Structure 1
Amino acid sequence: MELPNRSYIDSLCRGDKAFEERLLAVIKTEFPSEKEVYYNALKAKNLAEIAEAVHKLKHKISILGLEKGYALAAQYENEILDENFDHSQSFEKILDSMTEYLKTL
């Protein structure tokens, strides 16, 4: 399974520690609430909100270097509106790995 990493963050920040700290602070702040919105929308079966939450989370997935995870999230986002949740478990495993990774930063 692909694991979150700092490769994209490092290439984006190019040694600018202040920018890196701000970027990580934004991710650490926004990710938990966006993840909660996803699960709440899923529970409410609100397809538009689920897709919107996945869309927002997709960008965090990319920033944490999960290229395959980003592709899966993009596919899942498109499938949600067709009431296709085949990729929900894989997507949620990505969210779990991100949660654990962010605890280490």
Structure 2
Amino acid sequence: MSESPNLTYIKELADGSIAFEQKLIAIIKREFLKEKNEFLDNYNIMAYSKTAENVHKIKYKIGLLGFETGYQIAMDFEEELKDNNPSLYPKFILILESTEHFLKTI
């Protein structure tokens, strides 16, 4: 996967306000790990409807981090989960891992 998370969109939203940028990043960091764990719990018990809800929440954080391909895969995965189809799980896990690594390094 050549694309990775970045701060381009957040910097654009912040429009030069370091305080706003830092606050938004702090919120994403705080919520992402909790939502990722809920996602994994629901996925592991094959509660795909709840898993789709988890992906729905996570995808916005992926989008805020400028991960456009990841956002699209998350959207597709969410829709597939609603039909009890988890086939995009391997791709989504790579996105989650990449996002989590990025969040730990900023």
Secondary structure of the corresponding residue to residue 3 of structure 1: coil
Q: Is residue 27 of structure 2 the alignment partner of residue 14 of structure 1?
A: no
Q: Output the CA distance in 1 between the equivalents of 2:101 and 2:73.
A: 19
Write the mapping of 1:55-66 to structure 2, written as runs, cut at 5 A.
Answer: 55-66=56-67
Provide the residue aligned with 1:70 in structure 2. Answer: 71
Give the letter for the 1:86 counterpart.
S
Secondary structure of the corresponding residue to residue 98 of structure 2: helix
Identity %: 42
State how many pairs are aligned.
105
**Structure 1-normalised TM-score?**
0.97
C-alpha root-mean-square deviation of aligned residues, in Å? Answer: 0.7
Write out the 4+ residue segments of structure 1 that deviate beyond 6 Å after TM superposition: none
**Structure 2-normalised TM-score?**
0.96
Give the letter for the 1:37 counterpart.
E
**Offset, 1:85:** 1.2
Secondary structure of the corresponding residue to residue 38 of structure 2: helix
Give the gaps of 5 or more residues in structure 2.
Answer: none
Write the mapping of 1:1-105 to structure 2, written as runs, cut at 5 A.
Answer: 1=1, 2-105=3-106
